[in-house]
C-alpha cells in the first residue's frame, strides 16, 4: 500500500469528500486534484506520528513547523479553499472520533506507531502565573526577540508591526505606515512640548515620527530587549535622543506621569481579559486631566475564544498568552475607570492589506529570512500572516482605534466638537 492510499481515508475524514488540496507522500505517491491550489507534502513518518500523539491543530502545527510537513502553492488561495470546504473546523478544534479512527488505522498500515517526537524549538514554553510580569516578558521575548534583521525583511523600512493606513492603495507599505503614525498623532492632538507615552513602542517608529514631526517628548516602553536596542540606536542616528527615551519596562511599572497623551498601538492584545481593568486604570492614572489615549488593537467577534488556546497554532507558536477581546469589552474597561470614549474607527481592511504586504516581503526574500532566524520560524510567520489576512478580509476579526480622554475635574475634555476638527480637516 502506498502512502497516498493509506492517507486517503484520513484526508477524507478530516476534510470531507470535496478535498481542495493535494497530498504527496514521502514515497512519491499522490492524492487529490492535480490542479489543487495547495499541496501538502508529507516528508516522513514522523509527521504522522506527531499528529497521532496530538490529534488536533497542535499536531499539525508541530509537523509543519519542523518541516516534516511542507505547504506548497498559493497559500492565500489554498487557505480560502480549505475554509470553504470545512467552515465548521475552526482554529483549536480537535479532530473528531471518525478522523482519529482513520489516523490510527493509517498509523498501523504505515508502521509509524512510536514515541512522540520532541516539539520543534520554535514552540513556546512559558512558566509561571499567566500575565504575571515575568511570564508576560517571556511571551514578548518569544515573539519579538527573534532577530531585528528578520523583522526588517518582513516589515520593511518602517519597522512597524501594526496595520498601516492605506488612504490610497497605490502607496507603498512604508508610506502607509507613516500615514498611520500621522493619523494617530492628529487624533492625540500633539503639539510642541507635549509629553507622550508610547506603550509597547516596538522598534520606535511612532516615537521617532511623533518627536520629529511635532517636537514632542516621548517615553517609549517595551518588554523586548532587541526592540529597545534597535529603537535606541535609530533614534540616536536621527539626532532625537534629547526628545525620545526608550525603556525596557512593563507598562505597570511606569510611574513618572503625568503625560499629555498616551499611544498604545498593537499592545493591548498581550494584556489579557483579566488584566484589562488594570491596564485601563494604569493608563488613566498616567494622564493629566484632558489628556488623550489612543488605543489601537485587534478585536474578535463576540463568542467563545479559540484563537490562542493551548492546542492552537497561534497559542503555541505565534502569540503565547495572547488574547483578543470584543471591542465592547475594551470600551467597557476604559469607561469603567473614568475615561470618556470620544471616537472609534475600524481599520479592518487596512490590516488585511498590510498583512498581504508582509507575506509578499517574506516570500520575496525567503532564503534570507530563514537564515536570519530559522526555517521553522519563517514557516510560522508565513502561515500566521496569511491566515490573519484572510481573517480580517472575512470579518472574523477586526482592528479598531479607540480615542478616549481623561475628563477634567469639571467634566471638561478639551476636545474639538467635530470629527473634522479632530483630524485637522477643518479649522
pLDDT of residue 92: 41
DSSP string, 122-139: TS----SSTT-HHHHHHH
Minimal CA–CA distance to 423: which of 174, 215, 179, 169?
A: 179
SS3 at position 69 = strand
Torsion angles phi and psi, residue 309, rounded to 5:
-70, 165
Neighbours of 127 (CB within 10 A): 8
State the pairing for strand pair 217-222/38-42.
Answer: unpaired
pLDDT of residue 18: 65
CA pseudo-torsion sign 24, 28, 33, 35: positive
pLDDT of residue 175: 97
**Per-residue pLDDT of the chain in tens (427 residues, 90 and over written 9):** 788 877 777 776 666 666 677 889 999 999 888 888 888 899 998 988 888 888 778 888 899 999 999 888 888 887 887 676 554 444 444 566 776 777 777 777 777 778 889 999 999 988 999 899 999 999 999 988 899 999 999 999 999 999 999 998 889 999 999 999 999 999 999 999 999 999 999 999 999 999 999 999 999 999 999 999 999 999 999 999 999 999 999 999 999 999 999 999 999 999 989 999 999 999 999 999 999 999 999 999 988 766 666 778 888 999 888 889 999 999 999 999 999 999 999 999 999 999 999 999 999 999 999 999 999 999 999 999 999 999 999 999 999 999 999 999 999 999 999 989 998 875 4
Strand positions, DSSP E, 115-249: 195-199, 217-222, 244-248
The CATH number given to 133-422 is 3.40.50.150
The CATH number given to 3-110 is 3.30.1050
CA dihedral 271, 333, 203, 365 (to 10 degrees): 70
Torsion angles phi and psi, residue 67, rounded to 5:
90, 5
- d(CA 59, CA 65) in angstroms, rounded, equals 10
Summary count for the chain: helices (H), strands (E): 17, 11
State the pairing for strand pair 38-42/30-31.
Answer: unpaired
Annotated domain spans of the chain? 3-110, 133-422
Which grid coordinates are listed for 344? Answer: 472609534
Using alpha carbons, list the distances in angstroms from residue 162 to 21, 203, 385: 31, 11, 12
CA dihedral 97, 100, 104, 107 (to 10 degrees): 160
Residues 6+ apart with CB under 8 A from 19: 11, 12, 31, 32, 33, 36, 85
pLDDT of residue 243: 98
Burial zone of 181 (CB within 10 Å; 0-12 exposed, 13-18 middle, 19+ buried): buried
Which grid coordinates are listed for 177? Answer: 505606515
How far, in whole angstroms, is CA 325 from its chain's centroid? Answer: 13
- State the pTM of this model: 0.90
Which grid coordinates are listed for 218? Answer: 516621548
Amino acid at each position: 500500500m502506498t502512502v497516498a492510499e493509506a492517507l486517503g481515508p484520513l484526508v477524507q475524514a478530516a476534510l470531507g469528500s470535496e478535498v481542495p488540496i493535494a497530498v504527496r507522500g514521502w514515497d512519491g505517491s499522490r492524492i487529490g486534484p492535480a490542479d489543487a491550489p495547495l499541496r501538502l507534502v508529507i516528508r516522513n513518518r514522523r509527521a504522522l506520528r506527531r499528529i497521532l500523539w496530538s490529534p488536533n491543530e497542535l499536531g499539525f502545527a508541530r509537523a509543519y513547523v519542523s518541516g516534516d510537513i511542507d505547504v506548497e502553492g498559493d497559500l492565500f488561495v489554498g487557505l480560502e479553499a480549505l475554509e470553504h470546504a470545512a467552515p465548521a473546523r475552526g482554529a483549536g478544534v480537535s479532530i473528531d472520533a471518525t478522523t482519529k479512527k482513520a489516523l490510527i488505522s493509517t498509523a498501523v498500515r504505515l508502521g509509524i506507531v512510536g514515541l512522540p517526537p520532541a516539539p520543534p524549538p520554535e514552540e513556546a514554553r512559558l512558566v509561571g502565573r499567566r500575565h504575571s510580569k515575568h511570564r508576560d516578558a517571556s511571551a514578548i521575548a518569544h515573539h519579538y526577540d527573534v532577530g531585528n534583521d528578520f523583522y526588517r525583511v518582513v516589515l520593511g523600512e518602517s519597522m512597524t508591526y501594526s496595520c498601516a493606513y492605506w488612504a490610497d492603495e497605490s502607496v507603498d507599505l512604508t508610506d502607509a505606515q507613516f500615514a498611520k503614525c500621522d493619523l494617530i498623532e492628529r487624533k492625540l492632538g500633539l503639539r510642541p512640548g507635549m509629553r507622550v507615552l508610547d506603550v509597547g513602542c516596538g522598534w520606535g517608529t511612532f516615537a521617532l515620527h511623533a518627536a520629529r514631526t511635532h517636537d514632542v517628548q516621548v517615553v517609549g516602553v517595551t518588554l523586548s530587549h532587541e526592540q529597545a536596542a534597535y529603537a535606541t540606536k535609530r533614534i540616536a542616528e536621527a539626532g532625537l535622543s534629547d526628545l525620545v527615551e526608550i525603556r525596557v519596562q512593563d507598562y505597570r511599572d511606569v510611574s513618572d506621569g503625568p503625560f499629555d497623551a498616551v499611544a498604545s498601538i498593537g499592545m493591548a492584545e498581550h494584556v489579557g481579559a483579566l488584566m484589562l481593568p488594570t491596564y485601563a486604570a494604569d493608563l488613566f492614572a498616567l494622564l493629566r486631566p484632558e489628556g488623550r489615549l489612543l488605543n489601537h488593537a485587534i478585536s474578535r467577534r463576540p463568542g467563545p475564544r479559540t484563537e490562542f488556546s493551548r492546542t492552537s497554532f497561534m497559542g503555541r507558536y505565534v502569540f503565547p498568552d495572547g488574547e483578543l477581546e470584543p471591542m465592547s469589552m475594551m470600551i467597557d474597561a476604559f469607561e469603567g475607570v473614568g475615561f470618556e470614549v470620544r471616537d472609534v474607527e475600524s481599520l479592518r481592511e487596512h490590516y488585511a492589506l498590510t498583512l498581504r504586504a508582509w507575506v509578499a516581503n517574506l516570500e520575496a526574500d525567503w532564503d534570507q529570512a530563514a537564515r536570519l532566524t530559522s526555517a521553522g520560524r519563517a514557516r510560522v510567520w508565513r502561515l500566521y500572516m496569511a491566515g490573519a489576512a484572510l481573517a480580517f478580509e472575512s470579518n472574523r476579526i477586526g482592528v479598531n482605534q479607540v480615542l478616549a480622554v481623561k475628563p477634567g475635574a469639571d467634566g471638561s475634555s478639551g476636545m474639538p466638537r467635530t470629527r473634522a476638527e479632530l483630524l485637522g480637516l477643518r479649522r
